Amino acid sequence: MKNLLSACLSVLLLAGCTGGIWPEPGTPKPETPEQPGWLLTKVTKRLKYDWGYVNITKTVDEYLYNEHHKPIVHRYYSNAADSNNLILTEVDSLFYDSQQRVVQINRFSVSLNHVSSLRKLIYSGSNRLPHRVEQHTLHDSLGNPRPYPGYLYHYDYTYQDSVVIQVANGNDFSNDTAKYHYNASGNYMFYDYPSWNAGGAFVKEHEFSGYDNAPNPARYFNLEHGFAFIIDDVRSLFRFYTPLVSKNNWTSFSKYTSSQLPRPYVVRTVVVNGDGLVVETNSPYGDFGNRPYTNEHIVYEYEQIAEAD
C-alpha cells in the first residue's frame, strides 16, 4: 500500500492521480464543451504580520486542467520556515463523471505520504449542483492512515433563489443547519445558524457588505459551484467555502459581535487588468478598525484558451 501511495504522488506531481486507492470515478469522455476564454492557473499569496515585529509568509496554488478545460490537479506550496524556498505540501486530484461534473476529490498530504481526506459529490439526475457532499477524513489525530470511509460527515443542500440551506450530519452530531445568503447580483453575503446562546434564533458571525463589478477569479475554474477543492483555493483568511461562488469581488467585510452588531473589519482593494481580469487584491486589516496589523496581498495568474478550430 505504501508503494502504491508513493506512486500515486509521483503521478500527481505531473498530471493528477488517475488510479488512486479507490476505483476511479467517471465514465467515457463526453464531447468537449464550449471553451472558456480564460482559466485561473496560479495564485500567489503574501501575508505580512506586524505586531511590533514583521513576519512575512508566502504560499502558491497551481492548477492543471484536462482537455475539457476542467481542473484536475491543485498543488499547494508553502514553507513556514523560509518563504523564499517553497515546497509542495498538498495536492488535490479531481475526478469527473460523463457530464464533466466533479464527483470526487482526493487530497494527498506530502508530509503524511497518503491520501488524508476524500470528498464525494452526489447529484440528482442531470443537475449541475450537488445535493449531497460527503467528507471523509482518512487519518487519526496522529496523522496515521484511517481505513475508508474514515471519519465521515455529510452535508445536504437545498438551493433557493437567494438562499442555500445546508444540513450537516456526522459521527458525533446531527441535523446542524446553516443558511448561505446571496444578494440579487449573485454575491455571497453571510451565513447564519441557530445558536444555543440565542435561544435557537439564527445568528451570523460575519458579512461581506460590499462588492465591485469585476468578475471573481474563482469563476475562472470553469466550475458551477464551490465544492471542488479540499485545499482552500486561494488560502485567504476571508475565503469561506460557499456552495455557490460569488459573481464579483468583495471589497468590505464586517464581523458581528455577540449582540449581533456589525463592526467593520477590513476594506479590500482590487486591481483589474485590460482584459477585465482581477490580477491583484490587497487587504490591510486590524481588530475592528484599529491600526492594521496584517496585510494580505494576492496575485492571480491566468492562461487564455485558444479559440476552437
Residue from 22, 23, 20 nearest 9 by CA: 20
Region label for 289, one of left (φ > 0), alpha (ψ between -120 and 50) or beta (otherwise): left
Give the C-alpha separation, 128 to 41, whole Å.
23
Which parts of the chain fold into alpha helices (H)? 2-14
Look up residue 246 and give its amino acid.
S
Contact by Cβ (8 Å): 73, 15: yes
In this prediction, residue 209 carries a pLDDT of: 86
- What pLDDT, on the 0 to 100 scale, is given for residue 80? 81
Cα atoms in the Cβ-side hemisphere of radius 13 Å centred on 259? 2
Yes or no: is domain 2-16+39-304 CATH 1.10.40.30? no
Q: What residue ranges do the domains of the chain occupy?
A: 2-16+39-304
Which stretches in the chain have pLDDT values below 50?
Answer: 1-34, 233-235, 237, 288-289, 308-309
Dist CA 21 CA 286 (whole Å): 44
Query: For residue 192, which phi and psi values (nearest 5 degrees)?
Result: -135, 165
What would the pLDDT profile of 139-176 be if each residue is shown by its tens digit? 888 888 888 888 889 999 999 999 999 999 987 777 88
Instruction: Name the one residue in this structure whose C-alpha cell is 463589478.
Output: 213
Q: Which three cell numbers stand for residue 207?
A: 458579512
What pLDDT was estimated at residue 73? 96
What pLDDT, on a 0 to 100 scale, did the predictor assign at position 257?
72
pLDDT at 16: 43
Q: What is the C-alpha R_g of the chain?
A: 20
Per-residue CA distances from 176 to 121, 134, 165, 167, 169 (Å):
19, 15, 11, 5, 7
Distance CA 258, CA 254 (A): 13
Q: C-alpha distances in angstroms, 4 versus 1, 11, 20, 111?
A: 5, 11, 8, 16
CB 58 within 8 A of CB 46: yes
86 burial type by CB count under 10 A (0-12 exposed, 13-18 middle, 19+ buried):
middle
Whole-number Å distance between alpha carbons of 232 and 241: 8
Cα-based angle 231, 234, 236 (whole degrees, multiple of 5): 105
End-to-end, the C-alpha distance of the chain in Å comes to: 44
